[in-house]
Structure 1
Amino acid sequence: MSEWPIHWAHPERAFVLGVWLLVFLGLVWLERRGDDALDRLVGPALRARLVVQPSRWRRGVRLALVGLAGLAMGAALLQPQWGLRHVAAPRVGAEIMIAIDVSRSMLADDARPSRLERAKAEVSDLLSYLGDDQVGLIAFAGRATVLSPMTPDKSFLRLALDGAGPHSVSRGGTRLAEPILRAVAG
């Protein structure tokens, strides 16, 4: 790969610059030929009275600007690009560890049918949106227990989720630090 920071999206169109060079040289030739033909037709004194022409300097600037404009259009056809390149990369799935509180307080029925069942339903809905992502499940109360390690198998996760309850952990209470540490550890 070249070290030059610019690359061209369509280098196959470079022939347009060669065509433009020929057209530009033709314009220069016609400009000079027109002056010579006019000089042959009339003398310099009569020419000054018949034709008002800009100075040679102005005509040179005009030709240079036309040449630069054609060069810029040719370069635009090549579509110069620099900076970041967009490269198609394989999708890397996320790794998500879900911690669900299975303490006895989650059995309260202030949310129908219970807080625990409501949380399980929400996690189950979330699983349907995750695609090929790696997902794990931790149940926690006084202690944290990994019910499912990271896996793309959503049916196994739903099975582990259905079995989650206060009996899934050995100690009651609600300690949030332990499931966070387990989730970070993997």
Structure 2
Amino acid sequence: MARLAVETLMSALWDVGPSIIRTPVFDHYKKDKKTGKTISVTAKRLQALGRGDPTDIHNTGRALDIHLYARTAPQFGASYDFTECGYGFGLIGNFIDLSADMGWELIIYDQHVYHSDGTRTGQTKPSYKDEMARVNFEHLTHVHIQWADTPKADSASFNGALRALLIAGA
């Protein structure tokens, strides 16, 4: 059931969400094997599959990452990317408004965890092996939304209400 919620959310965001959702996003730098030059690699902004363990919540269909930078890339320091984080916080507001219908478990973005019971807690990592590990843990690059194994609501019933909010620009 959670997989249906993820697919429904992806479809709604792609079809009627902010146009930035349909543009590529910076993912990482790598060395070009032929030239030896450092190049920028892009990715899709909506990512349901993880890169790791098959039991990861992304790979089991329970989570979606929506890549909208809260902080300015590539340093991800104190300065905000107001365009992208505006979209990110706008989407979170919509998800909170529809939490009973969507049945999500938690949302993480910009050092905060939003719980389905309406509470918000901090999410910082004081010790990390490298800067990108901290950036990923604190979710400075993306909105992470996840569902429990058994969602609290009919996992697709929010489709019409979410699309209406997205079309209205809420």
Larger RCO, structures 1/2 (Cα 8 Å, 6+ apart):
2
Structure (1 or 2) with the greater strand fraction: 2
TM-score of the two chains, using structure 1 as the length reference: 0.25
Normalised TM-score (structure 2): 0.26
More helix by share: 1
Q: Which has the larger radius of gyration?
A: 1
